[in-house]
Amino acid sequence: MAVSSMQAVNVIGLMDNIEEVITVLGESGVFHPDEVQNFYDNIRDFTHLQTKNIYAEPLTNLKAAINLAKQKVNLVDPRDYSPSFEELDASAKVITKNIDSLIEEKNTVAEKLRLSTEQLSMANHFKGMDVEIEKVLNLNFLKARFGRLPKDSLEKLKDYDLNKFIEFAVCNEEKNAVWGVYFAPNERAEEIDKIFDGLYFERCESGFTDETPATQIKRLEKEIPELKTQLSASDKKLSAYFKTNGQRISLTLSKLEELYLYAGIRANAMQYSRSFIIVGWVPSEYQKELGIRLGKIKSVEVDFSDAKNELDKNPPVKLKNNLLTRPFEFYTEMYGMPKYTEIDPTFFVAITYTLLFGIMFADVGQGLILAIVGLLMWKIKKMKIGKILVPCGLCSSVFGLVFGSVFGFEHLLDFMYYKMGFMEKPIEVMERTNELIIFAIGIGIVLLLIAMMLNVYTSFRQKNPGRALFSTSGIAGIIFYDAIVFGLVGELFLGLHVLTLPYILGLIVFPFVLIFFSEPLSDLVNGEKDWQPESWPGFIIEKLFESIEVLLSYVTNTMSFLRVGAFVLVHAGMMLVVFVLAEMVGGIGYWIIVVIGNAIVMALEALLVSIQTLRLEYYEMFSRFYSGEGRGYAPIKLIKD
């Protein structure tokens, strides 16, 4: 539950050597640049070096051309390729121009094919007409309207039998509509058009030529295969260009990407007289190697400082987790990165999220399916959530063994329990509702206490003893919460008379008073000079209202864990419904209902349990010990891990 140790880097040198320094920092792949003003209070005489990233335009144009070509170009290490900007820009322009030319050639053929296909479809609708439709559309005294009319509307035309101008000639029929034409004298065209519009007539006036539909169909049926052949040839020509020039394209793109990234270092650098200043961060394990490389450059001075001594500069955070817990960094990053002096909650999330998910989704068969689906989501789609679902699914299978559920069959494993010496399965969910609810609340109490202990540890680590001692999640809060829980459990379940007057005054009232006055007490313990509030009466009134919220937070945080037990019951209830429906159908339908029901329940529960478990993590536990206000470590690096 720690973060990687970081070092602040301060590089000063003459302007003549800045490009060499930027290259070394960029090639290291571990340098996280920062703004000089974060390290220096007075930068009045400093000036920014970067005005415009000259690599942005050629890089953007080249990447756009590659994307339009729908070709994949892998980045390579371009350190041995050192062209001038003019040479690199010229190379990028030639490649971009060639790709654009091939794309334009392909798009021209594709557009011709699209138009020809549309024209063929349109001509087929009117193939019974032995006239040149284009000429019919250009008659002097009549307006010809070709298009599509619903069959229901065709019947309604009979209502206009008395109007000699309302006549529709059918050329082709479909299932629900007919294609044809009507004519209207110029002076009556607007009136007749409104009638047909009311009948949902869809007019078409494009796709026609100065030839008969039959002639047009014959020509297009010959032309379309030729266009398809041309389009295929254009595709092959484009692919061949990338295959032939792949190395050059990849090298040019990689170099532009590299220099564009390096310009990001230059953008943060500042100049003072004839010298430059570059600041940033590197993990401590790379300090020595980077210091040696920079030390070889003339006029350059490098200073490293442990991030623990530079906390006011908000050091970036690099999470450090093992293979099993690393997937859960996704949830940590989604909430917010820890501050440098905070603990990394990933390990805590990995354990608690997996356990809570497993309890709420407890089913041997469904858990194994979920683990397989998660593995496929990661392997095929590279979805981060997939790696999280694998341990969650396996944990669900383990708790499924405890509850005796396999794809909803509650007694399929009874033989195994008998051989293990049990009279029945360990937990019959629907018969032990009260125990499950109490168990869920017990889990909540334990996890909340752990979260509060983590807050105490983090607070002392951040040299904030006041918060560690007096906050709602500090030592006073732990004693207060523990005392109430133990008192209620003793009185209600153990038959012990715990809530005596000394117990209440010493372990409940006194800690709550400390929590009530936590702000001035924390400031006093932390050595703040102005620890007293401006107005004690105003402070007390404000705290009286806040105390209600504090007390409610203990209750609501604890009661939120009822959902853990509730989802165990929901799973059993939903599967019970599935089997009732299956038995009603019977026969082969029984198994169809069981399979479909399992699939639906799995999908719904996986989604709901994922969300609800994450809610418990974020709102009930993280809020007790974690701020998530840090910033992530983002080194300048061409090829990401």
Instruction: Please name each of the domains of the chain with its CATH number.
Output: 2-49+269-316 (3.30.70.120), 122-220 (3.30.70.100), 326-464+526-625 (no CATH)
pLDDT surpasses 70 at 270: yes
The pLDDT of residue 162 is 66
CB atoms within 10 A of CB 229: 11
Q: What are the beta bridge partners of residue 33?
A: 280
Which H helix or E strand runs over 97?
helix 85-125
As given in the structure block, the two tokens for residue 288 are: 């020595």
pLDDT for res 420? 75
Amino acid at 323: L
Q: What is the mean pLDDT of the chain?
A: 89
Mention every residue, 6+ apart, whose C-beta is less than 8 A from residue 106: 231, 234, 235, 237, 238
Q: Report how far apart, in Å, the C-alpha atoms of 99 and of each of 68, 113, 237, 359, 627 are.
A: 9, 21, 10, 56, 49
Burial class (CB in 10 A: 0-12, 13-18, 19+), 385: middle
Banded model confidence at residue 455, pLDDT cuts 50, 70, 90: very high
pTM, to two decimals: 0.80
In which band, very low, low, confident or very high, does the pLDDT at 1 lie, cut at 50, 70 and 90? low
Please list the residues that pair with 143 across neighbouring strands: 184
Crossing angle (nearest 10°) for helices 287-295 and 18-28: 160
237-255 average pLDDT score: 93
The lowest-confidence range among 40-49, 296-305, 607-616 is: 40-49
Q: What is the pLDDT of residue 641?
A: 59
Number of H helices, E strands in the chain: 24, 12
Q: What is the pLDDT of residues 398-442, one digit of tens each?
A: 998 888 888 988 878 778 877 777 767 777 777 778 888 888 999
